[in-house]
Amino acid sequence: MEDKDQYEREQGGGTLPGEAEVAPPPESSEGLAGGRARHTSLSLGLATIFLAMGLLLGVVLTWYWLQGSAAQAEVAGELKPAAQTTSMPLMPDVRPVYKSVAPGVVGISTRVNTPFHAGLGPVPQGSGSGIVLDREGHILTNYHVVKGAAQLTVSMPDGTQVEGQVLGSDAGNDLAVVQVKVPAAKLHPLTLGNSDTVEIGEAAIAIGNPYGLDRTVTAGIISGKGRAMPATNGRTMGDLIQTDAAINPGNSGGPLVNSQGEVIGINTAVEQGANGIGFAIPINTARQVLDRLMAGEKVEHAWLGIGIISVTDQVARQYSLSVNKGAMVAQVMPTSPAATAGLVGAEARGQTPDVIVAVDGRAVSTGDELTAYLGSRSVGNTVALTVNRGGKSVEIKATLAAWPDELP
Residue positions annotated with a catalytic role: 144, 174, 252
Of residues 267, 292, 282, the one with CA closest to residue 167: 292
Dmax (CA) for the chain in angstroms is 141
Over the chain, what HEC string results?
A: CHHHHHHHHHHHHCCCCCCCCCCCCCCCHHHHHHHHHHHHHHHHHHHHHHHHHHHHHHHHHHHHHHHHHHHHHHHHCCCCCHHHHCCCCCCCCCHHHHHHHHHHEEEEEEEECCHHHCCCCCEEEEEEEEEECCCCCEEEECHHHHCCCCEEEEECCCCCEEEEEEEEEEHHHCEEEEEECCCHHHCCCCCECCHHHCCCCCEEEEEECHHHCCCEEEEEEEEEEEEEEECCCCCEEEEEEEECCCCCCCCCCCEEECCCCCEEEEEEEECCCCCCCEEEEEHHHHHHHHHHHHCCCECCCEECCEEEEECCHHHHHHCCCCCCCCEEEEEECCCCHHHHHCCCCCCCCCCCCCEEEEECCEECCCHHHHHHHHHCCCCCCEEEEEEEECCEEEEEEEECEECCCCCC
Q: Are the beta carbons of 401 and 337 closer than 8 angstroms?
A: yes
Classify residue 337 as exposed, middle or buried by CB count within 10 Å of its CB (0-12, 13-18, 19+). Answer: buried
Residue 31 CA to residue 83 CA, distance in Å, equals 74
Of residues 301, 309, 330, 148, the one with CA closest to residue 234: 301
Q: Are the beta carbons of 285 and 239 closer than 8 angstroms?
A: yes
